[in-house]
Amino acid sequence: VNRTVSVVSGGQSYVLNRYYVPYGGPRPESYRKDAELANSVPEGDRETLWAELKAGAESGWDFSSRWLVGGPDPDLLSSIRTSKMVPADLNAFLCQAEELMSNFYSRLGQQDLDLPIWNPNLSS
């Protein structure tokens, strides 16, 4: 959900990937720290902060300065903006995975994804 963004360049539209968590609330594994950090931002911004912290953790780069660029104060963790970035490394990994899947389908003689990935009627 909302993990892709559309970018237009040179008249061509591209779908790129990003880290995004659609819900807020403190992370269970860091509940106290997240709740304390949220006290440093206006109450209306707390859910967004928690979602950004979760996205940063999802990236495996929690909490790199790469997610603080463009925030109001790049020295503070409360400025985290993970979902606002389109990481080149994430897109490179996913591009390679898509290319591998395409090659597998070609080897199987499947040019399109004409078979369902999951069909409950075919499961045993």
Write down the pLDDT at residue 64: 86
Number of domains forming the structure of the chain: 1
Q: What is the mean pLDDT of residues 52-73?
A: 87
Question: Is residue 11 domain-resident?
Answer: no
pLDDT at residue 56 greater than cutoff 70: yes
Structure tokens at 26: 């403190």
CA 116 vs CA 106, 121, 122: distances in Å: 16, 11, 10
pLDDT at residue 38 greater than cutoff 90: yes
pLDDT at residue 113 greater than cutoff 70: no
Domain holding 34, by residue range, is 19-85
Helices (H), 12-116: 31-38, 46-59, 88-107
Q: What is the mean pLDDT of residues 54-82?
A: 87
Write down the pLDDT at residue 85: 93
Local confidence band at 124 (pLDDT 50, 70, 90 cut-offs) = very low
C-alpha span between 46 and 50 (Å, rounded) = 6
Write down the pLDDT at residue 119: 59
Question: Is residue 65 domain-resident?
Answer: yes
